[in-house]
Chains A and B, each alone.
Chain A
Amino acid sequence: MPTSPSILELLSPYPPGWGGVLISGAASTILISLGAYLLGMLIGLAGAAGKLKGSRPVVALLDFYTTAVRAIPELILIIGLYYAGTDGINRLLSALGFPPIEINGFLAAVVVLGVVQGAYATEVLRGAILAIPVGQIEAASAFGMRPLLRFRRIVLPALMPNALPGMANLWMSVTKDSALIAVVGYQELALATRLAAGNTKHYFLFFFAAAVIYLVITLVSNMVFGSLETYFRRGQPKAA
């Protein structure tokens, strides 16, 4: 039996070591999370607007969406959406007479996680918008601001401090939920780790390394959101 390589050799970023695989896995985890987070925020904004201003069927539909997503386990949701989505697109293509296509794993991951995030983001943003004093929005309308300008100048700045804690939670949960994408076979940090661990049989080392990377992502995001919150809360009285 050859002598077993040291920890440093195993984790080195160059090919005999698996550090490079882990780092690129971490990069794709962050990219997937960012994409899903942005998509989730867009869905959330639209959803919050729909829930607050929409007609009755729209509200009922959105209620169903948020309730269903929040009641079903993430793993099942991700696998179901992943298969249903890719299968549905291919069926649509074959009905139109096109050959089936291979769906890009990255895109599918972003869309699937984004749809899950959107449901939570809808509730976070709806709560944050409801917390804005009505008078401020009325005053903006009285000044003759159009809805878009009103949103940009009045609603968004007033909404951010209320929404930030919830949005920070969502970001933390999407970085961790992205590990579930490993189950459908797209290579991000969790799956890359499993690959490295399976190849070298150093299971503990690699899963521990992955845990440390996730923890670093979380801690760094914590600091970023902390400073964002102090920025958006500038000029507000300090909480007692």
Chain B
Amino acid sequence: MDFSWVFTYWPLIVAGAIQTVLLLVISVGFGFILAIGLALALVCGPFWLRWCAKVYCTSLRGTPLLIQLWLLYYGVGSFLPMIPGLRASVLWPVLREGFFFAAVSFTLNYAAYEAEVLRGALLAVPKGELEAGRAFGMSPATLLRRIWLPRAIRIALPTIGGEVVLQLKATPLAFTVTVMDLYAVAYKVRQDTLLVYEPLIVVTLFYVCLTLIITRAFRRVEMQVPIRR
């Protein structure tokens, strides 16, 4: 076991960790917003909207993330340069990067899983609380903002914590589309130094630490509201 390479490669490791965390934060953040819309469509949308949301969730949960990522990066990515004017626009440097595609596909995928979780949680909010809100004369938007959504998120919190950890464990896939995330750094170290296990071990420790931080953070949020049993 030889860990001396850590001293020369630590800037890369830190940069990789930042990329990984960035991917996680972007996909969970935007994915959650998208998931709220999807879950509402699933629970109380009109028939066609409910059907669209169902198809979206089923197809994104039923195919591997790797295929979705490659479909976006190679498939959609090969169409993008054909759009007139896009290559000259200011957006092009962003649209060219693998990071953009990874962030988009992780967000869409996370939203599909999270929407199903939130759907269950929205249905699990006691009817009486919603009726009480309506009896107070709350408009549907106020009811959603003040009662329905906060209660549902509380109910779903343990599951959401698990989903975030799963999302963290999905981020190394970004390395297949040239993102220099933590795993890609380990790969580069392996190619440079011919060490197979040491880089993997170091990177694994990073992921386990991140997992511990996420679970601790969620536990702390969960404890803010005491549960009466």
Contact = CB atoms under 8 A, between A and B. Distances in A.
A210 B67 contact: yes
A75 B62 contact: no
Given A71-B211, A73-B171, A179 B200 contact: no
Interface in B159-174: 168-173
Interface residues of B, number: 36
Interface stretch (A51-59, A79-87, A232-240): A79-87
Given A203-B74, A219-B62, A76 B183 contact: yes
Contacts of B66: 179-180, 182, 190
Contacts of A197: 74-75
Interface in B43-89: 58-59, 61-68, 70-71, 74-79
Contacts, number: 99
Interface in B173-227: 173, 175-176, 183, 186, 196-197, 200, 203-204, 207-208, 211
Contacts of A218: 61-63
B187 to A, nearest CB: 9
Nearest to B168: A73
Contact of B196 (A87, A204, A207): A87
B80 to A, nearest CB: 11
Contact of B169 (A72, A193, A201): A72
- Chief secondary structure at chain B's binding surface: helix
A72 B171 CA distance: 11
Nearest to A83: B196
Given A87-B196, A204-B71, A207-B74, A72 B204 contact: yes
Interface residues of A, number: 35
Contacts of B186: 76
A203 B204 contact: no
A183 interface: yes
Nearest to B172: A75
A74 B169 contact: yes
Given A79-B200, A214-B62, A218-B62, A73 B71 contact: no
Given A179-B64, A204-B76, A208-B75, A80 B200 contact: yes
Contacts of A79: 200
A228 interface: no
24 contacts: A73-B168, A73-B169, A73-B183, A75-B173, A75-B175, A76-B204, A76-B207, A80-B197, A80-B204, A183-B176, A190-B70, A193-B70, A197-B75, A201-B78, A203-B71, A203-B77, A204-B71, A204-B78, A207-B70, A207-B75, A208-B71, A208-B75, A214-B62, A215-B58
